[in-house]
Structure formats: C-alpha cells, structure tokens
Amino acid sequence: MMDGDMFVVGDVHGHRDELADALRERGLIDDADDWSGGTATLWFLGDFVDRGPDGIGAIELVRELQRQAADVGGRVETLLGNHEILLLGVHRFGDRDVPSDFGPRSFARSWEINGGCQADQDGLTDELVEWLATRPMLACDGDHLLMHSDTLEYLEWGSSIEKINETVHDVLAGDDLSRWWDVWRRMTTRYAFRGPHGQDAARALLDELGGERIVHGHSVIADQLGIHPVDIEQPYLYAGGRVLGIDAGLFAGGPCLVVPLPYVPED
C-alpha cells in the first residue's frame, strides 16, 4: 500500500465480520481489527444496517477505525445511505402514519419490509444517532463524486454538495415527519445512469456537482447485469466509464468489495 491510497466500500448491511475480512485482505486492518492502513483514505457509501446480523457492530468498527486512522494521518469517512435514514426514522417516529394519498405508510412498516433488524434498533445510542444524522449525503474526493444512491433526486435538496448536505442535515435535526419521509423516499430511487440516456445524466450531474466519475452503492451489480451476486468479482463500470457501481450484494451472497480508487478494470 502506498501513502495516499484511497478505497471505497459499498453496502455492508449488517455483515460486520465479512467487512472486517475484506478490509484485512486489503491490508487496511490487522488481525485485531485495528487500523493498519497508514495514511490511506477509506470511504463507506452507506447502508451499514438491515438485512444482516450486526449493523451496529459494523458501525462501531468503522467509528473505531475512523479514530485510529486519524491518529496516523489516514482517513475513514462515511456517507448516509437510505437504510440509515430508515433506521433513524423508526427510532424517531416509530409507526406514526405519514401523511399520504397512497394509503397507510410509516417508517416502522417500511423498516420491516426492507429487512429491519431489531438488534440494530436496540443498539442505537444517543451518540450513534447523532453521529449517523450528521454524516454527509454526498462528497467529492479527488476526481470522484461519491454517493449512496444512483439517483438524481439529490438535486432536489440543492445545486451543490454543500447545500445538499446542509439541507438534509436540517431535516434530520428536526421533527417534520413528512420531510423525513421525503428523504427516505427519494433515497430509495435508483438506475438514473442506466440505459441510452444514462451517460448524459451522469455527465450532467458531474458538471453540476463536480468530479469526473460517479461512485455509488445502493443498486446491486448483479441486478444490473442479470446474474447472481455470487458470480460478482469486481465493481461495475458503466455509462461510458462515467459511473462505477460497487454494491456486490453482500447480503445476498455476493462479496464485500473494497475497491481502490481510481478504479482500473481488470482484463
């Protein structure tokens, strides 16, 4: 590993031990699960929780690595995923009905449908709630626009990364159920960069927010390619090379990809 190396990880979904194994394989942590990545940068694109046994354990591992990396000149950073919004929404609003013309809906019901784990709710502390609610939605690091969801809905909250992050942080600091639900709903959308107009959509978003390549999680690569997650071995570069999908479907049997950036496809 060289000074300044950068890596990115997609949706962990409660698979804390598989995450640790994958980080260890890259030399980013040691056998005691302590940071060994030196001055490397490690990004997580959200969705630590739901669908797996130990979402809180995954978060606690990442937070400890964040502290350890900072002590030696490294960086561990995280974005908010839609499942963090869901986790926090259940914590704050429970089964309160969301005002809607589409029938009864609530954070608790969506959480149950989308693989919510009671252990994650039970493990939430005030400190974890505060930490999660203040993670950014988007970031630009080097030439990479980092985002959880492959959607253009971020632009509904602003026309710059700073404004988008500020707007959502304001929502999550408040008690407006409808605005919280709007964040969750928009973050569940996907596939903005697929199809014949995907490259144009990606280029327009990069022109607006910065960066040369979008890196996202959220949409499982196997679903994009029509194969099973166990057959995934590398991230998915598409939209004319403008977009890199890194969610290999860990919760469904796929690998936990720890992807070096900039990413160069294997032959």
pLDDT at 34: 98
Alpha-carbon distance of 245 to 234, in angstroms, equals: 9
Tell me the pLDDT tens digit for each residue of 112-150.
Answer: 999 999 999 999 999 999 999 999 999 999 999 999 999
- Band of the pLDDT at 180, cuts 50, 70, 90? very high
Statement: residue 3 has pLDDT above 70:
no
pLDDT at 246: 98
Please report where in the chains the tokens 């939430």 appear, as a residue. Answer: 124
Put residue 209 in one of left, alpha, beta given phi > 0 → left and psi -120 to 50 → alpha: alpha
- Segment 59-87 shows an average pLDDT of 98
Q: Decide: 55 and 13 in contact? Cβ < 8 Å.
A: yes
pLDDT at 99: 83
Q: Decide: 89 and 98 in contact? Cβ < 8 Å.
A: no
pLDDT at 173: 97
The DSSP secondary structure of 45-96, one letter per residue, reads -S--SSSSS-HHHHHHHHHHHHHHHHHTT-EEEE---HHHHHHHHHHHHTTP
- Segment 190-209 shows an average pLDDT of 98
Statement: residue 31 has pLDDT above 80:
yes
Percent of the chain residues topping a pLDDT of 90: 95
Q: Decide: 88 and 59 in contact? Cβ < 8 Å.
A: no
- Band of the pLDDT at 267, cuts 50, 70, 90? low
Statement: residue 18 has pLDDT above 70:
yes
- Band of the pLDDT at 169, cuts 50, 70, 90? very high
Alpha-carbon distance of 151 to 201, in angstroms, equals: 10
Q: Decide: 82 and 187 in contact? Cβ < 8 Å.
A: yes
pLDDT at 143: 96
Statement: residue 38 has pLDDT above 90:
yes
Tokens standing for residue 108:
């608790």
- What rounded mean pLDDT belongs to the chain? 96
Alpha-carbon distance of 37 to 7, in angstroms, equals: 10
Q: Where are the alpha helices (DSSP H) in the chain?
A: 16-25, 55-71, 82-93, 107-113, 118-123, 126-133, 161-172, 177-187, 198-209, 221-225
Statement: residue 232 has pLDDT above 90:
yes
Please report where in the chains the tokens 């354990």 appear, as a residue. Answer: 57
Q: Residue 148 — φ and ψ, nearest 5°?
A: -80, -60
Put residue 86 in one of left, alpha, beta given phi > 0 → left and psi -120 to 50 → alpha: alpha
DSSP-based three-state secondary structure for 26 = coil
| Domains of the chain, first to last | 6-16+43-58+76-261 (3.60.21.10)
Alpha-carbon distance of 65 to 63, in angstroms, equals: 5
- Band of the pLDDT at 2, cuts 50, 70, 90? low
pLDDT-wise least confident of 3-12, 23-32, 136-145: 3-12
Torsion of CA 139, 78, 30, 35, to 10 degrees: 80
